[in-house]
Structure 1
């Protein structure tokens, strides 16, 4: 069973929440609201580490030198690709051993290591995860990256966070870039968030930072999506502290 082979992935019994956004969107407030829920352990940024793990996963799953060998291994030698007929399984194959790499085990093993060594959920944690501001930086791989997260971490949910582009562009995070470049990147990110949510509506919720001004009622919408219940006092304390900051 997966729970036995990849224990770190399955340790948080209620799954994972990933906050996907961009710099200066107010996502640290969301991180704080999540960590106010008993049993939640939502880590901060990790430098987009899962992107690099997902790239490795994607290579093993999709690169011809892996896939051809896996596909031909079960065939009779005469039925194999001409390129592989005389070298598959031999020590002189330039990609010797590639046929034995199992993509699903490779994917789950890497993400299990990430959960164990990076997320490191505390004892009693029932929901783990992180927030990251860099997942949008490779638009061509964005959907694949999120799919690998969704398929690897049990009970995954995504919180996409957006903010008024003008407010974001005025922050020091973006100050060294021309405004039109910033606007283009933010617009593209919002579109990617929307498209992924459209394809995966049951596990996605989009947070608008400006709506936090509505206070407790809006924060409760997020909690309701996650199936969590928090008192008004607990929500208000977190909102008040972070909004003043």
Structure 2
């Protein structure tokens, strides 16, 4: 079974470096951001699941036919004809096709920073689709310095408020799901012992390559 690793972070927290570190694992393909596209897909999955289990008339996820509803004088406002299990498989295949770039790739996933407004909770839907998923939650401890970087510096005061709220959401999610989430910060990312601990959590400790990881940490790529 493939290993699936997601990096869920705040912006300017070092998540791209963590992405590069995880990509030192042989046969891995941890992709970059997708502008929150997966959030939208997981929202679709969540809504279609709720529709299937709560509203569609029928039994055990087998929708009643239109003819059956009409014959039984049943208002067809929630009539649907799709197979929920089949739709779920299609969603899983789409996600796999997005990130598994070759048959030999057995460690795949992505990193994303668009988890404000409670969007981090979409990860529970991802975990439902792919139970083997491991998640790295990443923030930056020094929020004041973080707020001075990139787009945040346009309004540092508002950015600090925003980052405090986002960090709380990310940390709360980690605390609720410690069984499959690993917590790291920008500051801890440079501690080789801590990175080794992360690899152990990901069940990839045999692929911990200190030389390659130090090369990543010493090479600060420009945006």
What is the TM-score normalised by the length of structure 1? 0.76
Residue 5 (structure 1) aligns with? none
Distance 1:74 1:102, change over 3 A: closer
Q: Comparing both structures, which one devotes a greater share of its residues to helix? A: 1
1:41 touches 1:122 (CA, 8 Å); kept in 2? no
Q: How is 1:114-153 mapped onto 2 (pairs within 5 angstroms)?
A: 114-116=95-97, 118-134=98-114, 136-139=115-118, 141-143=119-121, 145-153=122-130
Residue 202 (structure 2) aligns with? 226
2:21 touches 2:213 (CA, 8 Å); kept in 1? yes
Q: How is 1:4-15 mapped onto 2 (pairs within 5 angstroms)?
A: 13-15=1-3
Residue 48 (structure 2) aligns with? 60
Partners in 2 of 1:42 and 1:213 — Cα distance?
A: 20
3-state DSSP of counterpart to 2:22:
helix
**Unaligned regions of 5+ residues in structure 1, if any?**
1-12
Alignment: residue pair count: 214
Return structure 1 stretches of 4+ with deviation > 3 angstroms: 70-75, 93-96, 100-105, 242-245
Q: 1:40 aligns with which of 19, 28, 46?
A: 28
Partners in 1 of 2:216 and 2:153 — Cα distance?
A: 29
Distance 1:74 1:150, change over 3 A: closer
Q: Please, what is the CA RMSD of the aligned residues?
A: 2.8
2:153 touches 2:159 (CA, 8 Å); kept in 1? no
Please say if 1:69 is aligned against 2:56. Answer: yes
Residue 86 (structure 1) aligns with? 73
Give the superposition deviation at 1:127: 0.9
Please say if 1:180 is aligned against 2:163. Answer: no
2:135 touches 2:182 (CA, 8 Å); kept in 1? yes
Cα deviation per residue 1:191-235 (whole Å; 9 max; x = unaligned)?
Answer: 222222222212100111112333x22221211211223232222
Partners in 1 of 2:58 and 2:162 — Cα distance?
A: 40
Partners in 2 of 1:222 and 1:242 — Cα distance?
A: 21
3-state DSSP of counterpart to 2:179:
helix
Please say if 1:27 is aligned against 2:7. Answer: no
What is the TM-score normalised by the length of structure 2? 0.83
